[in-house]
Amino acid sequence: MPTELESKIKVDSHQPVRDRLRDAGASYIGKVLETNRILDRPDAHLLRTGCGLRIRQISILDGVGPRDSITFKGVKIPGKFKQREEHETSIDDANALAAILAALGYTDKIVFEKRRESWRLDPCTIELDEIPQFGLFVEVEGPSEPAVESTLARLGLSDQQSITESYVALLMAGREPLTPRTVEFRFK
C-alpha cells in the first residue's frame, strides 16, 4: 500500500527556507499553479470518512512540474506527521475525467488553487506552498519519519509544530461537508 508521509508547517515567509535549501545544495525543480478539485458523492461520504478524491490540474510557471493527476487518499494513520494511504496516477484530460466522474455521481465539493515551488533534498521533497486566504506553508515529504525529521532540522524547522491536517481539512474547518467551497487567487 503506497503511503504519503509528510510534515506541514505554516510559515510567515518562504525566503529563509529557500535560502537554507540553496545552502544545503537542494535541487530546484520548478513552480506551478495547481487547481485542486476535491470530488465526492452528494452525501459527502468520502469527506465524512476522512478520505479524498482529487483531480489536480497543473499550470507550469517555471522549471518543470508534474502532469495533471487523479489521487485517492485514505484515512489518516495516527502519528507525529501526516500519513495516509495514497494512490495517484497521471491523466491526460482533467476536465474529461471530471465529466466522467460527474456522470457517476461525483461532483466538486472543494476547488482550491495553490502556488507550489518544489525542491529535492536527499530523499525528501520540499514544497513551498501558498494557499489564498490561508497563507504560506512548507511541506516536507519523505520515505520515513527520521528522513523527514533530518530534513526539517536542516531547514531550521524542527522546532515548529507539524500540522497533521490536510489542506482540505483546513479549508473545511467549521464548514458543513455538503457545502461546496472555492478558494482562488484574485490575481494570478
User: What are the grid coordinates assigned to 49, written together?
Assistant: 470518512
Rounded to an integer, the average pLDDT of 76-80 is 88
Rounded to an integer, the average pLDDT of 122-138 is 96
Q: Name residue 55's beta-bridge partners.
A: 37, 70
177, pLDDT greater than 70: no
Rounded to an integer, the average pLDDT of 154-161 is 95
Rounded to an integer, the average pLDDT of 71-82 is 91
What does the pLDDT read at residue 179?
73
24, pLDDT greater than 90: yes
What does the pLDDT read at residue 187?
66
What does the pLDDT read at residue 1?
61
Pairwise CA distance, residues 169 & 117, whole Å: 22
